[in-house]
Structure 1
Amino acid sequence: MQPTQNGPLSRFGRVNPTAAFLGTLALVLAGLFAPGIIGGALLLVLAGAVAALLVATWSAHPPRARLPRVLVLTVLVTAALVKIL
């Protein structure tokens, strides 16, 4: 008998990809259009969530797929810092 996976990563596998994309897009747009530090903070929170997900799933992705993910995270953090400053 194999143990069942009830952790957060098993729940991410059941999320509709279109809904996840649209939700993330809405958060990015809200962060970009929100004024000053509020928008920057929202983008930093989103970057933290993306970084946590990236760390948790790092070994599951092939090396060729890792670089674009890190670049997107870098762009998100840069946009947040520019927004704050």
Structure 2
Amino acid sequence: MQRTQHRLARRLARANPTAVFLVTLVVVLVALFTPGVIGGLLTLALAAVVAALVVTTGASQPTRLRVVRLLVLTLLITVGLVKLL
């Protein structure tokens, strides 16, 4: 693992799971209920964050969890692109 990834992994491990969940929930709800281009861009931004997390933490996760994360990522990208159209 690269040095920057190690630092990021330690930072993620220290984050309060409840706070992370609530912030993510708010961002998802705002992105899904905001119409048009802004909602699509917010959804795609959230997908970019999820993609970064999948890349950063993917090797240490079990296969089932990686598959679920990839499905969520695919769903976010699809919703974001549909909202942009």
Cα offset, 1:76, TM superposition? 0.8
Size of the aligned set, in residue pairs, is 81
Answer with 1 or 2: which has the greater Rg: 1
Q: Amino acid of the residue matched to residue 79 of structure 1?
A: V
Of Structure 1 and Structure 2, the greater helix share is in 2
Which stretches in structure 2 are left out of the alignment for 5+ residues? none
Q: Amino acid of the residue matched to residue 49 of structure 1?
A: V
TM-score by structure 1 length?
Answer: 0.88
TM-score by structure 2 length?
Answer: 0.88
Cα offset, 1:53, TM superposition? 0.8
Q: Post-superposition, which runs of at least 4 consecutive aligned residues in structure 1 deviate over 3 A?
A: none
Identical aligned residues as a percent: 54
Within 1, Cα distance between the matches of 2:64 and 2:8?
25
Within 2, Cα distance between the matches of 1:71 and 1:58?
13
Which stretches in structure 1 are left out of the alignment for 5+ residues? none
Match of 2:51 in 1: 51
Within 1, Cα distance between the matches of 2:31 and 2:65?
26
